[in-house]
Amino acid sequence: MFKGLSPILYNGREVWPLVEGGKGVAATNHASAGAWAAAGGIGTVSAVNADSYDAEGKIVPQVYTALTRRERHEELIEFAIEGAVTQVKKAWDIAGGKGAININVLWEMGGAQRILHGVLERTKGLVSGVTCGAGMPYKLSEISASYGVTYLPIVSSGRAFRALWKRAYSKAAEWLSAVVYEDPWLAGGHNGLSNAEDPLKPQDPYPRVKELRDVMREGGIADSVPIVMAGGVWYLRDWSDWIDNPELGQIVFQFGTRPLLTQESPIPEGWKSKLMEIEPGDVLLHRFSPTGFYSSAVRNPFLRSLEARSERQIAYSTEHAGDHTYQLDVGVKGRNFWVTLGDLQRAREWYGLGHTSALKTPDDTLIFVSESEKAMIRKDQADCMGCLSQCAFSSWADSETNSTGRLADPRSFCIQKTLQDIAHGGNTDENLMFAGHGAYNFRKDPFYSNGFVPTVKQLVDRILTGD
């Protein structure tokens, strides 16, 4: 047992201060979460478009048949509730009364509030807590408390928590079971970098977490309410000065990337194999997500193609003005595209390389893509099922008009399509592959030598040693 580490009391039962991170579309499910809880920790079922199963136990494909986006959005909500309820019940059975089961939702997912109500209504007594980030989930406390379930907001600064506390959470203080600090420079998936923070200049998490604890103390929150350190956690020995530290209060550790490579992890073998090959610097903090948030993923050919797409970009004016005195004669129909001489020459070069279509972005720029890439972008935009509250890629919004009012952005991508595909065996080079920035440790950590893939129990036991 690692020095100083001891069980905590979580919702009336003793558990290890180890949380399995809840990873988006189908990357954590009943098998991984149930096993994590059975090992004495807090398992997390992802309630983001989770899988359902037929009578034979096969995954039910989430196929959308409705003609309109609004109707497909209703199908999505039904899939989401049914899937999450199924996963929670199965995880509960696997846990066998040990540990605890949380669910994870994204506040910015389409229909988030309806889905949360639908899941909690049908899983009474099974869910210990709801973790929720990606946005400012003001209503999280109210919804969770109405079902007698605790809540764990995910924040990346003391400032964000202060705003949530003052506006809403102070009214349901007794249901706050922890606050998750997700490091925006180290965590995989979407993260909460603010406009004031530099994505290229990571900050030490210690002062940021101390500031978060200070904000919690201002609100009268006891030090026994844990802060969950999420992002960049691999070896507990690296965090020994955080354990039993009076400045920080109770600290719990969340593991997001490490549990991807276990026997119970639901991600396909191809994804698991790729994790063993990641080198330092292979995970990119980028801004291509249709959510508008920064996110971290493996810099594979899929991500490189998005980088290249944005690099083939020029500004245009609809009038002959300033430096924009040359008419664009490739990639567009019509004559109202005025560009600089340098950009005209670049556009002609891209056109000659097969990027023959210019697509408008919301920022008065054009990107150049091939005809096949254009067809894929247009199809994906047309197939939108409203998986986000607001989507830059398709201009969907979960509102009366179902529109953001902005032009759809072809520099982005359909996140639902790619995450469903990679989670269910799709090509790891052609899809978004989330991972934390410490994923290179799979190659370095002797625990994984000779291709060893542990069970969740073996992983938890290993973590408890400090390694």
Give 287-300 as a DSSP string. Answer: ---TTSSEEEEE--
Given the structure tokens 């996140």, which residue do they identify? Answer: 415
As a whole number of Å, the end-to-end CA separation of the chain is 10
Task: Give pLDDT, residue 3.
Answer: 81
Instruction: Find where tokens 């890629």 sit.
Output: 393
pLDDT for 317: 95
Mean pLDDT over 172-186 rounds to 96
pLDDT at residue 305 tops 90: yes
What's the confidence (pLDDT) of residue 189? 86
Question: Any alpha helices (H) in 242-300, and if so which ranges?
Answer: 269-275
Across the range 347-365, mean pLDDT stands at 97
Top-tier CATH class for 8-267+441-464: alpha beta
Domain ranges of the chain: 8-267+441-464, 301-423
Averaged over 5-30, what is the pLDDT?
Answer: 91
Residue 1, pLDDT > 80, answer no
Q: pLDDT by residue (tens digit) across 215-252?
A: 999 999 999 999 999 999 999 999 999 999 999 999 99
Amino acid 241 reads D
Q: What is the pLDDT of residue 316?
A: 96
Residue 459, pLDDT > 90, answer: yes
pLDDT in tens, 38-84: 999 999 999 998 999 999 999 998 999 999 999 999 999 999 999 99
pLDDT of residue 314: 97
pLDDT, position 196? 84
CA 182 to chain centre: 11
- Residue 190's pLDDT band, with cuts at 50, 70 and 90, is confident
CA nearest neighbour of 230 among 171, 285, 174, 189: 189
pLDDT of 173 higher than 80 = yes
Q: And the tokens for 80?
A: 């989401």
| Other CB atoms within 10 A of residue 266 CB | 22
Q: Could you tell me if 319 and 276 are in contact, meaning their C-beta atoms sit under 8 angstroms apart?
A: no
- 94 in helix, strand or coil? helix
The whole-angstrom separation of Cα 436 and Cα 172 is: 32
Residue 434's nearest CA partner among 87, 85, 42, 106 is 106
pLDDT at 457 over 80: yes
Sign of the CA dihedral running 377, 380, 382, 386: negative
pLDDT, mean of residues 205-223: 97
Confidence band for 23, pLDDT divided at 50, 70 and 90 = confident
* Candidate from 23-27, 138-142, 246-250, 395-399 with smallest mean pLDDT: 23-27
Q: pTM to 2 decimals?
A: 0.94
H/E element, 313: strand 313-315
207 has pLDDT over 90: yes
